[in-house]
Amino acid sequence: MEKTIVIYDSRPSLKDPLFIECLPGIGNVGKTAGDFIADSLNAERFATIYSEHFPPQVLLDDDNIVELANNQLWYVKDVGGRDIIFLRGDCQGSTQEGQFELCVEILNIVMGYGISGIITLGGYGTGQMVDVPRIFGAVTDLKIKKEYKGYGVEFPPGDPAAGIIGASGVFVGLGKVHGIPSICIMGETSGYFVDHKSAMAMVGVLMKKLDVELDLTDLQDKSEKIDELTAKVKEIDGRNQDLGYIG
Amino acid sequence: MEKTIVIYDSRPSLKDPLFIECLPGIGNVGKTAGDFIADSLNAERFATIYSEHFPPQVLLDDDNIVELANNQLWYVKDVGGRDIIFLRGDCQGSTQEGQFELCVEILNIVMGYGISGIITLGGYGTGQMVDVPRIFGAVTDLKIKKEYKGYGVEFPPGDPAAGIIGASGVFVGLGKVHGIPSICIMGETSGYFVDHKSAMAMVGVLMKKLDVELDLTDLQDKSEKIDELTAKVKEIDGRNQDLGYIG
Amino acid sequence: MEKTIVIYDSRPSLKDPLFIECLPGIGNVGKTAGDFIADSLNAERFATIYSEHFPPQVLLDDDNIVELANNQLWYVKDVGGRDIIFLRGDCQGSTQEGQFELCVEILNIVMGYGISGIITLGGYGTGQMVDVPRIFGAVTDLKIKKEYKGYGVEFPPGDPAAGIIGASGVFVGLGKVHGIPSICIMGETSGYFVDHKSAMAMVGVLMKKLDVELDLTDLQDKSEKIDELTAKVKEIDGRNQDLGYIG
Amino acid sequence: MEKTIVIYDSRPSLKDPLFIECLPGIGNVGKTAGDFIADSLNAERFATIYSEHFPPQVLLDDDNIVELANNQLWYVKDVGGRDIIFLRGDCQGSTQEGQFELCVEILNIVMGYGISGIITLGGYGTGQMVDVPRIFGAVTDLKIKKEYKGYGVEFPPGDPAAGIIGASGVFVGLGKVHGIPSICIMGETSGYFVDHKSAMAMVGVLMKKLDVELDLTDLQDKSEKIDELTAKVKEIDGRNQDLGYIG
Q: How close does chain A come to D6, measured CA to CA in Å?
A: 10
Residue of C nearest to B49 (CA): C177
Q: Are B73 and B46 in contact (CB under 8 A)?
A: yes
Binned at pLDDT 50, 70 and 90, residue A243 comes out as very low
Once rounded to an integer, what is the mean pLDDT over residues A121-145? 95
What are the DSSP calls for chain C, one per residue?
---EEEEES-----SS-EEEE--S-GGGHHHHHHHHHHHHTT-EEEEEEEETTS-SEEEE-TT-BEEES-EEEEEEEEETTEEEEEEEES---SSHHHHHHHHHHHHHHHHTTT--EEEEEEEEE-SS--SS--EEEEESSHHHHHHHHTTT-B--TT-STT-EESHHHHHHHHHHHTT--EEEEEEEE-SSS--HHHHHHHHHHHHHHHT-----HHHHHHHHHHHHHHHHHHHH-SS--------
- From D63, D67, D94, residue closest to A173, measured CB to CB: D67
Q: Determine the residue type at B17.
A: P
Question: In A, which residues are within 8 Å of B99 by CB distance?
Answer: 56
**Angle subtended by helix axes B167-177 and B96-111, to nearest 10:** 50
pLDDT in tens, C147-189: 999 999 999 999 999 999 999 999 999 999 999 999 999 999 9
Residues on chain A touching D56 (C-beta within 8 angstroms) = 93, 96, 99-100, 103, 165-167, 169-170
Cβ-defined contact of C164 to B63 (cutoff 8 Å): no
More confident: A88 or D3 = A88
Flag if C58 and D172 touch (Cβ within 8 Å): yes
> Residue B247: its pLDDT value, please?
33
Contact (CB, 8 A) for D185 and D148: yes
Q: What pLDDT is stored for residue D234 in this prediction? A: 77
- Are A56 and B159 a contacting pair at CB < 8 A? no
Whether residue A143 has pLDDT greater than 60: yes
* Alpha carbon of C92: minimum distance to chain D alpha carbons (Å): 14
The region, left, alpha or beta by phi > 0 then psi within -120 to 50, assigned to residue B67 is: beta
Distance CA B65, CA C146 (A): 12
Give residue B166's pLDDT.
96
Query: Considering chain D, what is the average pLDDT of its residues?
Result: 93
Sheet order of strands, B66-68 included = B66-68, B57-60, C164-165
pLDDT average, residue stretch C181-209: 96
Q: Which residue of D4, D51, D52, D96 is the best one to mutate when testing the C interface, meaning the one whose CB has the most C CBs within 10 A?
A: D96
Average of pLDDT values for D172-180?
A: 97
pLDDT digits (tens, 9 = 90+) for C119-150: 999 999 999 888 899 999 999 999 999 999 99
The yes-or-no verdict on residue B238 having pLDDT over 80 is no
Instruction: List, for residues D201-229, the tens digit of each pLDDT value.
Output: 999 999 999 999 999 999 999 999 888 88
Rounded distance, CA C96 to CA C94, Å?
7
> What integer is the mean pLDDT of C107-114?
97
Out of D57, D63, D94, whose CB is closest to A169? Answer: D57
Within the 12-71 window of chain A, which residues sit less than 8 Å (CB to CB) from chain B?
Answer: 50-69
Band of pLDDT at residue D18, cut at 50, 70 and 90 = very high
CB contacts < 8 A, B to C, total: 103
pLDDT digits (tens, 9 = 90+) for D97-106: 999 999 999 9
CA atoms within 13 Å, Cβ hemisphere of A95: 17
Going by pLDDT thresholds of 50, 70 and 90, the confidence category of residue C245 is: very low
Interchain contact B91–C (C-beta under 8 A): no
Mean pLDDT across the stretch A84-108? 96
CB contact under 8 A, C165 and B56: yes
Instruction: Please report the pLDDT score of residue A239 as a whole number.
Output: 52
Terminal Cα distance for chain A, rounded: 38
* Residue A60 Rama label (left phi>0; alpha psi -120 to 50; beta): beta
Mean pLDDT of chain C: 93
- In this complex, whether C and D touch, counting 3 or more CB pairs under 8 angstroms, is yes
Give B232's pLDDT tier (boundaries 50, 70, 90).
confident
- State pLDDT tens for residues D154-166: 999 999 999 999 9
- pLDDT for C234 equals 77
Q: Which amino acid is at C192?
A: Y
Strands lying side by side in the sheet with C182-189: C4-8, C44-51, C71-79, C82-89, C18-21, C117-125, C182-189, C135-139
Please list the residues that pair with A222 across neighbouring strands.
none
Identify which of C89, C102, C103, C81 has the alpha carbon closest to the alpha carbon of residue C17.
Answer: C81
Mean pLDDT of all residues in B48-71: 97
Q: What's the pLDDT score for residue D245? A: 39
Measured at the CA of B120, the angle between CA B119 and CA B126, to 5 degrees, comes to 130
Average pLDDT over residues B110-117: 98
Q: How far is B186 from chain A (nearest CA, A)?
A: 12
What per-residue confidence (pLDDT) applies to D47? 98
pLDDT tens-place string over residues C30-51: 999 999 999 999 999 999 999 9
Return the percentage of chain D with pLDDT > 90, whole number.
85
pLDDT at B237: 60
Minimal C-alpha gap between D234 and chain C (Å): 33
**Residue D207, Cβ density class (10 Å: 0-12 exposed, 13-18 middle, ≥19 buried):** middle
> Is the Cβ pair A164, D57 closer than 8 Å?
yes
In chain B, the residue whose alpha carbon lies closest to the alpha carbon of C1 is: B1
pLDDT of residue A240: 52
Residue of D nearest to A93 (CA): D56
Question: What is the C-alpha to C-alpha distance for residues B242 and B233, in angstroms, rounded to an integer?
Answer: 9
